[in-house]
């Protein structure tokens, strides 16, 4: 069966039509990767898949990120849940996922792509939004782009998390401050020649810019990038398989009852190129 697709919005998101055996074989991996980088987010529905099969599929697309999971059989698996029994290492940070972000801004080479599959869903809320940061850059005023291309932004954990939890304890804030800061170009020139905004709530400030001007610029770009015309809203159903290009999108979860047991199985691919300027 060949890969076919239907666009879900004009600027981002496509639903792919393909059977499970074809996905697992890697026969359409090149087509999937190409479509993913062009459309930002891909959805396959009504696929009954195990964790092992999800892992097998994502490995057809690139280099699996192993992370820190130690349990045998869970190679590369992250359980996205607020239940600290299921994810004792990262559950306490997931509230930050309710804000717009890209993953891996603390690394020189951010992850390339992620694949999600629901294990438990809540009856209300918990959907996921994605925005196309390629399209957002393309639509900026042409006279502004050369200046934006020269800017660098410092990304920090406290910038990423404090807006989502302003009533944090001093101990929590101190923990966030132990994570390293990383400076990246604001505009990512990809090896393909395309450009995207390397934008995220983790962006603390623009290097060398007066603080209030830096704040206003980053807020203006965030408001621009999260307009409806760049947005795909995913309403989760069981047996969904969703993948996104982390290098050309931002994403966020919508609020839901954190005691509901909502859980997604997540596998991620290692990055393939650093964020570079023009």
Taking only the tens place, the pLDDT of each residue in 15-48 is: 999 999 999 999 999 999 999 999 999 999 999 9
pTM score: 0.93
Residue 134 belongs to a domain = yes
Helix (H) or strand (E) holding 154: strand 152-155
Mean pLDDT to the nearest integer, 128-157 = 98
Q: CA dihedral in degrees (198, 8, 120, 47; nearest 10)? A: -120
Residue 276 belongs to a domain = no
Residue 275 belongs to a domain = no
Residue 180 belongs to a domain = yes
Residue 96 belongs to a domain = yes
For residue range 185-201, list pLDDT tens digits in order. Answer: 999 999 999 999 999 99
Domain interval for residue 240? 4-269
Taking residue 243's Cβ as centre, other Cβ atoms within 10 Å add up to 25
Q: Report the CATH number that the domain containing residue 37 is assigned in CATH.
A: 3.60.130.10
Count of structural domains within the chain: 1
Residue 278 belongs to a domain = no
Residue 249 belongs to a domain = yes
Residue 274 belongs to a domain = no
């Amino acid at each position: 069966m060949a890969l076919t697709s239907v666009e879900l919005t004009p600027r981002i998101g496509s639903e792919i039509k393909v059977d499970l055996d074809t996905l697992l074989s890697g026969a359409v991996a090149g087509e999937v990767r190409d479509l993913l980088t062009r459309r930002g987010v891909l959805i396959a529905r009504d696929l009954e898949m195990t964790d092992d099969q999800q892992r097998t599929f994502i490995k057809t697309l690139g280099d699996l990120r192993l992370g820190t999971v130690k349990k045998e059989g869970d190679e590369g698996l992250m359980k996205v849940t607020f239940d600290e029994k299921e994810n004792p290492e990262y559950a306490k940070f997931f509230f930050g996922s309710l804000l717009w972000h890209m993953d891996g801004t603390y690394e020189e080479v951010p992850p390339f792509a992620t694949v999600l599959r629901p294990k438990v869903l809540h009856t209300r809320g918990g959907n996921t939004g994605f925005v196309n940061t390629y399209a957002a850059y393309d639509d900026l005023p042409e006279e502004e782009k050369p200046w934006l291309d020269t800017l660098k932004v410092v990304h920090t954990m406290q910038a990423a998390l404090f807006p989502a939890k302003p009533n944090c304890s001093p101990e929590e804030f101190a923990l966030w401050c132990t994570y390293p800061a990383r400076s990246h170009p604001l505009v990512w020139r990809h090896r393909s020649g395309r450009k995207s905004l390397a934008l995220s709530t983790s962006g603390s400030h623009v290097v060398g810019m007066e603080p209030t001007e830096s704040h206003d610029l980053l807020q203006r770009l965030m408001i621009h990038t999260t307009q409806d015309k760049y947005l795909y809203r995913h309403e989760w159903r069981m047996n969904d398989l969703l993948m996104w290009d982390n290098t050309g999108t931002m994403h966020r979860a919508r609020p839901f009852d954190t005691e509901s047991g909502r859980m997604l199985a997540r596998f991620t691919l290692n990055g393939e190129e650093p964020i570079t300027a023009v």
